[in-house]
Structure 1
């Protein structure tokens, strides 16, 4: 069946490992978007404090992300509905929550993504102010998403992931990892004071709203029925295994190069690492790392500009549907794709209003609202997937079995704990 322009209309599921690997894409998009500079810093801090001890937490976290993204993809492929359409069946409150979350989160994240992308460019070319670099990155992301379509975005993201792999993993190899300590780190242990860091590695790295965008990217790829389930699972696994490799690499760097050092929090921590590399190995080590830092940050920006805008466009479509409307994927294609007014409106929202935060301090009330909504999204995703995929909303082949249910329940409990911890921290800061 042919679909709207902009989608890869792949009629036959590829056969054989080589052919299947050539079709990998949405998983790389989701994984690269979900892991930003802040996630790498958090991992580096854990390595600098506890060495290789929390390596097991990275592996466990990757397994949970694979389970969540697989559930999202399975919903899209077997139900014939989008994620927003599924949420709509749970009640209007779900759409109210998501709409409020997307608007507030997008405003603050836009400034964060632009700043993170501008930092390494400012370090490489200090003659241009950080604020200017941040605005340039935002405008470049806008142009790519506004004029490009999924196929182009995927190719660009894949190139950046290659750069990330060479630079981030190359840095880990440069600092000469201790393989024996690494093997010992696969045994679950919790040194004194490490509990929160372990939970952060399991639940935080790579876990964002972009996980919900995964199903939309599979649709843009042309995967539209249950026959693509095996391909989706391979794609999803490749994406999050790649993420795990990045995170392990940063843990190694923290353990070998920064052990016992008070690492600067925030994205500035990666600039600090670049300076340490320059001191220990020379500028030839610092410059490639800063390029990798830019790749990490800019892939998150592009992925959010595209993926979350797709979510918002579908939210707008779904919000306006009459109560008893029977929905189809074709309805989504006509009204909520990459050329829809709602998609472009949200891309503009991510780009221009957040530029105000590059000139002003973040309003405290906005930060609190952003933190509260953001902390609640991942347990919301896990909880709603549990309900949707164990109901008659999907055919029997799409329903969750014991392993998927067990992992989703653990994810729900873990993310709920992290959400409560985040909210308590916000009120204590208040």
Structure 2
């Protein structure tokens, strides 16, 4: 990325590396904790639709038997995310810019960029589902027009959610996104963990045998589709890894590291800010894993024994039974308020990230100058308005949040293999050996890569050749 300044460039541009923006990295745990943030934004995207709806639905349908996939699915992806983010900090470039260098190139971009475009078109269904889920929770809590979950009430709330989202993000400031997502993730995750801890004292108690059965590494017949969707949408997905590089850059990790002048000082700063990023990733992973397990366990303990599987626009009502059946009718309001918070924060995270990726894509295609701050900001504002409206239309057309989320989630699982290939190439060709000296991190990345390929192959074989793995 060029470090040459221009008359119209603001003092701070997250996507430009300049000597005057250099800052020393903190060396203490307290100092590093003060510079966390990108992982919180990522967590808001992950904890929302994936955990609240898809993971809960999987638990409701399969019971505890797929608990192993929740754990493994969340654990194996985080090391790929960390590798990609390290490359972004060292190079000062976005993930899409990295994908564009992976051959074969098709026109101005690499094949993975075009695959991302296909993924994002499918993800529009998932994002529409998030708007629909938020609207459904609002409709049950306060119908406004007609009866709860009526078409008029859903449409009205979906429009309101979209308008509020666009209004909050009109400045396109990273700090706004981080503030909203931090509070929403904290509130709803804590409430769900508390519910899991209360379950042993209710008629829906779980025991050690349930967890033992959940670690049998089997996928029962009839749950493959939902399992694939869960693997794609829970934990850190391929699109989340891609988005994370933008948040790392906008937080300032690369800008504070500075341009690569080959000096020892720059390498030392880079190592310092990479350590901050790694802590950020760990905190995000821990939060996502705890939230994922909590939603799954509650779905398996409360909904599965009753044969309640979330479907259609009743998904929010069914999921709310996790709270009302254990705490009483009064808990429905508590759940709906929390659901609105977490789904809306997911919508905020998507509406903030996706316009950046599309603006970057136009830059890679040569349609706009990505390095012109004014042009980039103008195009970003246009996408920030147009894309949420598109997602709104997708929901009004399909009217089934769970199905919409599963469509996007399966596409994300496919894209994950392409991202894995890109990360290996970028790591091999563009990351100096100095930053790859940690043997245990390298081993974790290798195991992570092998696990992703194995899980992908397993689910595909189960989908097309039922029973081939003996499950």
**Structure 1 residues 280 and 103, CA gap change in structure 2 (3 angstroms):** closer
Match of 2:83 in 1: 71
Of 62-71 and 341-350, deviating more is 341-350
**Structure 1 residues 358 and 178, CA gap change in structure 2 (3 angstroms):** closer
Report the Cα offset of residue 95 of structure 1.
Answer: 6.4
Report the Cα offset of residue 100 of structure 1.
Answer: 3.2
**Structure 1 residues 143 and 263, CA gap change in structure 2 (3 angstroms):** same
Cα distance in 2, alignment partners of residues 232 and 47 from structure 1: 32
Cα distance in 1, alignment partners of residues 319 and 120 from structure 2: 34
**Structure 1 residues 163 and 10, CA gap change in structure 2 (3 angstroms):** farther
Whether contact under 8 Å (1:169, 1:249) holds in the other structure is yes
Give ranges in structure 2 of 5+ residues lacking alignment. Answer: 16-20, 146-152, 258-269, 467-471
Match of 2:295 in 1: 250
Number of aligned residue pairs: 413
Cα distance in 1, alignment partners of residues 412 and 421 from structure 2: 15
Which of 76, 92, 117 is the aligned partner of 1:100?
117
Report the Cα offset of residue 346 of structure 1.
Answer: 2.2
**Structure 1 residues 203 and 356, CA gap change in structure 2 (3 angstroms):** closer
1:301 aligns with 2:373: no
Match of 2:36 in 1: 24
Report the Cα offset of residue 185 of structure 1.
Answer: 5.5
Aligned runs of 1:229-308 on 2, under 5 Å?
229-260=274-305, 261-265=307-311, 268-275=314-321, 277-278=323-324, 280-308=326-354
Match of 1:395 in 2: 432
**Structure 1 residues 377 and 156, CA gap change in structure 2 (3 angstroms):** same
**Structure 1 residues 49 and 336, CA gap change in structure 2 (3 angstroms):** farther
Cα distance in 2, alignment partners of residues 27 and 182 from structure 1: 31
What is the TM-score when the length of structure 1 is the normalising length?
0.82
Report the Cα offset of residue 66 of structure 1.
Answer: 1.1
Report the Cα offset of residue 81 of structure 1.
Answer: 2.5
Whether contact under 8 Å (1:77, 1:229) holds in the other structure is yes
1:153 aligns with 2:147: no
**Structure 1 residues 315 and 372, CA gap change in structure 2 (3 angstroms):** same
Q: Counterpart of 2:175 in 1: which secondary structure?
A: helix
Give ranges in structure 1 of 5+ residues lacking alignment. Answer: 323-330, 426-430
1:80 aligns with 2:92: yes
1:379 aligns with 2:417: yes
Cα distance in 2, alignment partners of residues 56 and 288 from structure 1: 29
Which of 220, 232, 252 is the aligned partner of 1:222?
252
Whether contact under 8 Å (2:41, 2:349) holds in the other structure is yes
Cα distance in 2, alignment partners of residues 252 and 238 from structure 1: 21
1:351 aligns with 2:385: no
**Structure 1 residues 262 and 212, CA gap change in structure 2 (3 angstroms):** same
Match of 1:328 in 2: none
Cα distance in 1, alignment partners of residues 131 and 398 from structure 2: 15
Report the Cα offset of residue 276 of structure 1.
Answer: 5.6
Higher Rg of the two aligned structures: 2
Deviations 1:361-398 (A, max 9, x none): 48xxx9999788555322221221122212x2222234
Of 18-27 and 179-188, deviating more is 179-188
Match of 1:13 in 2: 25
Report the Cα offset of residue 55 of structure 1.
Answer: 2.8
**Structure 1 residues 313 and 188, CA gap change in structure 2 (3 angstroms):** same
Q: Counterpart of 1:209 in 2: which secondary structure?
A: helix
1:178 aligns with 2:206: yes
Cα distance in 1, alignment partners of residues 458 and 11 from structure 2: 42
Report the Cα offset of residue 167 of structure 1.
Answer: 2.4
**Structure 1 residues 264 and 86, CA gap change in structure 2 (3 angstroms):** same
Q: Counterpart of 1:147 in 2: which secondary structure?
A: coil
**Structure 1 residues 353 and 180, CA gap change in structure 2 (3 angstroms):** closer
